[in-house]
Structure formats: C-alpha cells, structure tokens
C-alpha cells in the first residue's frame, strides 16, 4: 500500500553554508532537495533553514533573520511543497513578531525547529521573551517545533503553554525517549516527531505508539542531516505498525496540526 508522506522535520538549504549534510556533494543544491523528495514520495517537507555560520550574542539575530529570509524564498521557489518554519529569538521579540506575521500571512503555521543550544538562548525555552513570543504565535494558530532542551526545561515549557501545540524533536536514547513519553501522556498538546536519533532502535516506534497513541507521533527525518529513504522505510515497511498507524504518522497528524 502506498502512503502519502509529509516530512515534518527538515532543514532545506539554498547554498553550501546552509547544507547540514555531513558529507555534502556538489549536486546537492536546492533543486536536488525537491527531486529527492519527489523520488521518495514526499508531498510536502517542513522546517527551518539552519547553517554553519557561527553565532554570537551580537550577531545571532542577523544570522537567524537571514535564515528566515532564505526560508521564505525557498517557500516561493518550491511552489508550496515546502512548509517554511520561522525562527524567533527571546532577545529580539519585536523583530521576531514581524517574521511571525510574514510567515502567518502566507499560511505558514510552523515556528521552528528552534534549537536553543546553538542560538544563544542559554539552552532554555523558559524566558520572558520566549514566553511572549509563544503566546503571540499561539494566538495565530501556529505551532512550535522544539529541539529538546534538558528534560525539566521541556516539562516547564509544556506546563506554561498548555494551549500551544509543541512537537518535541528526536526520540533519542532511553532517558530522553522516556521523558518524551511522560510528557506526551501528561500534556495533550505535546507530540513527538521521529527525526534524528531514536527510531533505528528496534520496536522504538511501536513502543511510542503503544504509550502515547499514533495520533501524537509525527514523521520527520532531519534531512539533510539524516537519510530520507532510511526513515521512510523505517515507518512504511515496519511490520509492527498497522496501515492506519502509518497513515497517521506519515501524513495525517502533520496535516491536522499544521492546518494543511
């Protein structure tokens, strides 16, 4: 059976500096991204632009705003196949709000993936500036793709923002995985995306579904950091999952929370 696929967690790029693949090749330009998505049946791919530019407290917003500008250009270039994710920063609240408005006006309801450890946010979501931004984009119906901070910080984020859909990235190894499950059980608004580390462990996806339900699991790859085809195969060909569970994970959940 064929399944529609929406990759909730990617990092598209327009040049080599933004390409997060560990071993990029010369053919990996912005057209390559679209061709590989089509080759493996991905109808839409989502996420923020990141890159290799070092950030400091002085230049972080300049760097993040350039990534936002690239994301909006790629959104136009890909003709709707790409759901661009918006960067925000707690030390630049008003500037962040302007970008939130730009993305939302285009029907883009995704903030992130936000990566606090690399974006000079003291590796926390729990600051006055971030709380103000979360409240602002939540009122617009936008959702947060969150790279995990320390578990207690993630718990505090969920406790403070129960009306915000928060999608925690990367199942991770046992301790992080267990905390994802505990969080998703406690907070109705918390989802887990399968990108990055975790689902290569046998029965991890089955365990996640059994604990929190397939309706709270979102398919993501972390492309181009991770291998797109490997992650698709890990879900589409997993004999431990039902076809209905695969449909929910591969596309239906993302459609629902992103209002696609």
DSSP 4-65: -EEE--B---SSGGG---SS--TT-SHHHHHHHHHHTTEEEEEE----S----TTTHHHHHH
**Could you check whether the bond before residue 224 is cis, i.e. omega within 30 degrees of 0?**
yes
Note the pLDDT tens digit of each residue in 174-219. Answer: 999 999 999 999 999 999 999 998 788 889 999 999 999 999 999 9
| Alpha-carbon span 118 to 128, nearest angstrom | 19
Q: Assess whether pLDDT exceeds 70 at residue 1.
A: no
pLDDT of residue 171: 94
Pick the CATH number of 5-258 from 3.20.20.140, 3.30.479.10, 3.10.129.10, 3.40.50.300: 3.20.20.140
On average, the pLDDT of the chain sits at: 96
Percent of the chain with pLDDT over 70: 100
Alpha-carbon distance of 187 to 146, in angstroms, equals 15
pLDDT at residue 197, as a whole number: 85
Beta partners for residue 82, in sequence order: 45
pLDDT tens string 99-155: 999 999 999 999 999 999 999 999 999 999 999 999 999 999 999 999 999 999 999
All structural domains of the chain with their residue ranges: 5-258
Give the Cα separation of 121 and 61 in Å (integer).
11
d(CA 244, CA 63): 41
Distant-in-sequence, close-in-space partners of 105: CB < 8 Å, separation ≥ 6: none
Backbone angles phi, psi at 50, to 5 degrees: -125, -175
Q: Is 73 helix (H, G, I), strand (E, B) or coil?
A: helix
Range 149-172 average pLDDT: 97
Q: How confident is the model at residue 2 (pLDDT cuts 50, 70, 90)?
A: confident
Q: What is the pLDDT of residues 5-40, one digit of tens each?
A: 999 999 999 999 999 999 999 899 999 999 999 999
Mean pLDDT in residue range 86-111: 98
């Amino acid at each position: 059976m064929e399944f529609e696929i929406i990759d909730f967690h990617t990092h598209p790029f327009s040049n080599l500096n933004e390409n997060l693949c560990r071993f990029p090749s010369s053919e990996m330009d912005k057209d390559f991204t679209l061709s590989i998505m089509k080759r493996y049946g991905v109808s839409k791919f989502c996420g923020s632009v990141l890159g290799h530019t070092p950030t400091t407290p002085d230049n972080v917003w300049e760097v993040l705003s350039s990534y936002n500008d690239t994301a909006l250009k790629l959104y136009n270039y890909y003709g709707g196949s790409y759901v661009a994710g918006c960067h925000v920063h707690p030390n630049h609240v008003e500037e962040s709000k302007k970008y939130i408005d730009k993305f939302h006006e285009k029907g883009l309801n995704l903030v992130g993936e936000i990566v606090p450890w690399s974006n000079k946010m003291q590796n926390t979501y729990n600051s006055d500036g971030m709380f103000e931004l979360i409240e602002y984009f939540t009122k617009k119906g936008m959702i947060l793709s969150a790279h995990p901070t320390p578990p207690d910080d993630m718990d505090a984020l969920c406790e403070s923002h129960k009306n915000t859909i928060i999608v925690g990235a990367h199942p991770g190894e046992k301790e992080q995985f267990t905390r994802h499950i505990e969080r998703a059980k406690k907070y109705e608004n918390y989802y887990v995306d399968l990108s990055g580390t975790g689902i290569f462990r046998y029965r991890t996806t089955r365990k996640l579904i059994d604990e929190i339900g397939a309706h709270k699991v979102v398919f993501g790859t972390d492309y181009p950091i991770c291998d797109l085809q490997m992650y698709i195969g890990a879900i589409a060909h997993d004999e431990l999952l039902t076809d209905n569970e695969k449909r929910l994970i591969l596309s239906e959940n993302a459609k629902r929370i992103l209002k696609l």
